[in-house]
Amino acid sequence: MKITRDVVEYVAHLARLELLPSEVDLYTEQIDRILSHMDELNSLDTAGIEPTTHAIPLVNVFRPDTVDHNLEVGESLANAPEREAAFFKVPPIIETE
């Protein structure tokens, strides 16, 4: 067994989790199975395998950016509550103490 009940209880304590005794047993078994599987994976010879970021090649599915219709300054500021020259006027956000 890679992990013990004491370790699961300790980690639960650090995470401020209140686990029932049955949950501690369940998590101990599950984590132990996960770690055993990781040992199996670590035992594989991967010396001749190129590192990859994805298991399958990815293709960009986004459409290309195209310029359609640009708003004129007057159009973009038409519904602005306040404006100053050709800009939106917004309240200052700098806080002073």
Q: What is the pLDDT of residue 12?
A: 96
CB distance 29 to 1 below 8 Å = no
Segment 17-24 mean pLDDT: 96
Residue-level pLDDT at 63 = 85
Q: What residues have CB less than 8 Å from 83, skipping those under 6 apart? A: 77, 89
The per-residue pLDDT for range 47-62, each reduced to its tens digit, is 888 888 888 878 888 8
Residue 17 lies in domain: 5-42
Provide the domain count of the chain: 1
pLDDT given at position 1: 63
* Within a domain: 73: no
What is the arithmetic mean of pLDDT over 6-35?
96
> pTM of this prediction?
0.49
Q: How far is it, in rounded angstroms, from Cα 50 to Cα 59?
A: 19
CATH code, domain carrying 17: 1.10.20
Cα–Cα distance, 22 to 5 (Å, whole number): 11
